Amino acid sequence: MLVNQAYAATALRRSPPSESQPVRSRGDKLELTVVMPCLNEAETVATCVRNAVGFLVTHSIDGEVIVADNGSTDGSQQLAAEAGAKVISVRERGYGNALLGGIATAQGKYVIMGDSDDSYDFSALMPFLDSLRAGADLVIGNRFKGGIAPGAMPSLHRYLGNPALSFIGRLFFRNNIRDFHCGLRGFRRDSVLSLGLQASGMEFASEMVVKATLAGQRVEEVPTTLSPDGRSRPPHLRSWRDGWRHLRFLLLFSPRWLFLIPGSVLLALGALTAALVTPAPLVLGAVSFGLSTLVLASAMIVIGFQAVLFGLFTHVYASAEGFLPQRSRITSFLGACSLERGLLVGGALGSAGVVGLVVAATQWHDGQLGPLGYQSTLRIVVLSVTALILSCQMILGTFFLSILGIRRTRHAVVLDVGRAGEVVLTGSPQPRRLQARSADPISTEFAGELHRA
């Protein structure tokens, strides 16, 4: 097993290796790395490291334990090293930063991460490793299935925070994860590195699940237990602050639920309300819905339509930059909404608005330029102004979508010079081949012309 002397001595004292334990050279790749973020965990980090080392030895697993220290001032680093861990220093503060540093340093094919506060049992990691060996990309512990000891999780987190955020995660991203924020999880190192994780704080856990789901990776859950942590100080987690950060992250990675669905609902309700109150006031018992309701409906239509446009903008930009995958229905819809069609629809709405204002001006003139008719002319004015606003939104939004599309296509173009000076534009929908004048390397000027083509 690839461990340093302190690591091996501690492990052997706790649990002697079986005779079948393989012996590997230092050039071989490890199977498993256990990563623990650490910030002033002197009371518990050594216990966690010893448990992880004992697990590796007991099950004859070639592995290592890494403690990613995030600036401890209580001697946690030395205690972790003496217990058998490889200690690395991560200068940038934050839970996510510490884990990213540990994952980058890990030598194992698989990585299991967990807090170093002694709330998770590092001697019982086989369910995670078994799932990874069976082909899972990401394995998350489920504390609600495995068991939560009394006092291990605040009631606010257990009965509101975790269930609510996990439900939102399942709703937004269509997965079956019941414990979205369990800190004990395992994954294939290459699979996680391919996700491009960036969150520096506590929302790192959400980012991992969301991006793995969006990337189509195989995500599973296994039962795990949660015990009260062994620290005498308060935890780093702040319930409302970190809960909001998790929720904000889920919303930002789901423009469908942040923009498209609320905007569509608001647009539909506004249109339905306007249709009911435009011909005449709607009377329900002693309540009358008239012109004021029409103004409110107009505002709902405008705001809803703007939210839908924002959803489309976000989808195009995020897909182009690789933040989100392409969604077939939205892509098909955008494909049907060409610039010309958008201008045509926007022009029709604008024309309808102008006609309505002309009708209203005519009525005003016929009334000798006096006060407008409250129940008739003002209804026409409200609807006409709404149509004009929608026309401007449609035209400007369609132009902006076209600009985003051009940007996406331009970024996708990749030049590849093949044999005999053949230049391949691999980013276009149908790769085009151009013939250079000679087999010499492509010139800077020629490359510039191709990019501008």
d(CA 119, CA 21): 29
- Going from the C-alpha of 124 to that of each of 18, 60, 78, 85, 211, the distances in angstroms are 18, 14, 25, 18, 27
- Going from the C-alpha of 356 to that of each of 42, 73, 364, 381, the distances in angstroms are 74, 72, 12, 7
Shared-domain flag, residues 354 and 419:
no
Of 202, 224, 252, which marks where a domain is finished? 252
Structure tokens of 353? 């608005």
Residue-wise pLDDT tens digits, 238-272 = 677 777 877 887 887 888 888 999 999 999 999 99
Shared-domain flag, residues 133 and 202:
yes
Shared-domain flag, residues 205 and 329:
no
Q: Where are the extended beta strands (E) located within 143-247?
A: 185-188, 219-223
Shared-domain flag, residues 444 and 397:
no
Shared-domain flag, residues 230 and 102:
yes
Q: Mean pLDDT across the chain, nearest whole number?
A: 80
Q: What is the pLDDT, as a whole number, of residue 423?
A: 45
Shared-domain flag, residues 133 and 260:
no
Q: Is the pLDDT of residue 374 over 80?
A: no
Shared-domain flag, residues 398 and 427:
no
Do you know the residue count of the chain? 453
d(CA 431, CA 243): 46
- Going from the C-alpha of 81 to that of each of 40, 64, 262, 278, the distances in angstroms are 14, 12, 52, 75
Of 204, 237, 252, which marks where a domain is finished? 252
Shared-domain flag, residues 339 and 353:
yes
Range of the domain at 102: 5-252
Amino acid identity, position 254: S
Give the contacts of 129 (CB within 8 A, at least 6 positions apart). 32, 59, 61, 110, 112, 186
Of 228, 252, 276, which marks where a domain is finished? 252
- Which strands make up the sheet holding 422-425, listed edge to edge? 415-417, 422-425, 432-435
Shared-domain flag, residues 42 and 162:
yes
Residue-wise pLDDT tens digits, 313-337 = 888 887 776 667 666 677 777 777 7
Shared-domain flag, residues 142 and 220:
yes
Q: What is the mean pLDDT of residues 181-208?
A: 90
Shared-domain flag, residues 212 and 286:
no
Percent of the chain with pLDDT over 70: 77
Shared-domain flag, residues 296 and 324:
yes
Domains in the chain: how many in total? 3
Of the listed ranges 63-72, 360-369, 395-404, the one predicted with least confidence: 360-369
